[in-house]
Amino acid sequence: MIKRTVSDRLFDWTNAALMLLLIVVTLYPFYHVIMASLSDSNRLIAHQGLLAGPLGFNLEAYERVLANPNIFSGYRNTLFILVFGTALNLLLTAMGAYGLSRKFMLRKPIMIGIIFTMYFTGGLIPTYLLVNNWLGWGNSMLALIVPAAISTWNLIIMRTSFEAIPESLIESAKIDGSGEFGILLRIVLPLSMPVIAVMILYYGVGHWNSWFNAMLFIRDRELFPLQLILREILVQNDTSAMQLGDAMGDQQGIRESIKYATIMVATLPILFVYPFLQRFFVKGVMIGAVKE
């Protein structure tokens, strides 16, 4: 080991300090939300600025959020979209990616046609008219699932990963009489579990976080996904569904706590699974970064 100079050590310490600062700046907002959601609402409203810990302890906001039927229906709708949307995503992406990893005459033109859509799009209005007017999917879950069936980026990641499977394996399966569907199901997919995990996560997180298409196409509140309910509460400041019996004076107080508790209820699933799944997410970027 080469001896470390003074400037070396100075650099290491500054670097570590910067990274610690980054950790604090990244995590504090979440810490703040947790603490504020547990706080007593009257003390919270009188407080300004950073929180070291909860101000008092009160779970009333959580009770109100969990009693809000919109949160429940939002979760239900989001789970529906997540399950069926991701299933369709996987089906179409896996078949397409496998096809594109094989040799056939139209492979190149199809690939070019797909890549082109990454750089040039028809835009919001024609897409809206297509889904809403011509396909007639307004106010239907189909509008949230089918138009998002394939992400080009994910398709390319999956194709890249399929291409790494040795040709000899596929050839020998063919000699044994397997068809292409059989090869995909029995050889390629079982060898590609990591990339399938990546796909489930990317598509799943995409469905979980998506709100804009629901705002465009869904009119019935019963069908709102969670993110759209959250938008009403957090961005449009509408907590009325959880404050029906409140006297005027109390409203402002509990409103803040309700907002924080809502964030917690909607984000906890992600915060819980994230540390365990993080390496899969990263893997996706790594595969995607391999240049063609």
Partner 1 sequence: MQKLMQDLSRNKAIYLMVLPMVLYYVIFKYFPMYGSIIAFKDFSVSKGILGSPWTGLENFQAFFDSIYFWRVIRNTLLISVYQLVFGFPAPIILAILLNEIRKKTFKSIVQTVSYLPHFISLVVICGLILDFTSRDGIVSTIIEWLGGERSTLLGSADNFRSIFVTSGIWQELGWSSIIFLAALSGINPELYEAARVDGAGRFRQMWSITLPGLVPIIMILLILRIGGMMDIGFEKIILLYNPNTYETADVISSFVYRKGIAEGQDYSFTSAVGLFQAVINFVLLIGANWFSRRVSGNRLW
212 counts as binding partner 1 under rule CB under 8 A? yes
Token duo for residue 164: 């790494």
Q: Are 264 and 44 in contact (CB under 8 A)?
A: no
Site string for partner 1, 37-56 (x = CB under 8 A): ----------xxxx------
- The region of 4-12, 57-65, 79-87, 185-193 touching partner 1 under the rule CB under 8 A is 4-12
Rounded Cα distance between 280 and 203, Å, is 13
Region 136-195 residues binding partner 1, contact defined as CB under 8 A: 146-147, 149-150, 155, 179-181, 184
Q: Would you state the torsion angle of the CA atoms of residues 72, 74, 78, 84, taken in this order, to the nearest 10 degrees?
A: 80
Q: How many residues bind partner 1 (CB under 8 A)?
A: 88
Rounded Cα distance between 55 and 45, Å, is 10
62 counts as binding partner 1 under rule CB under 8 A? no
**Cβ 207 to partner 1 shortest distance, Å:** 11
Closest CA to 197 of 62, 46, 86, 35: 86
Region 226-255 residues binding partner 1, contact defined as CB under 8 A: 227, 230-231, 233-235
**Cβ 213 to partner 1 shortest distance, Å:** 10
Q: Are 88 and 144 in contact (CB under 8 A)?
A: no
1 counts as binding partner 1 under rule CB under 8 A? no
**3-class SS of residue 59:** coil
268 counts as binding partner 1 under rule CB under 8 A? no
Exactly one of 53, 56, 69, 126 binds partner 1 (CB under 8 A); that residue is: 126
The DSSP symbol for 241 reads G
Q: Give 224 or 245: the residue with its C-beta nearer to partner 1.
A: 224
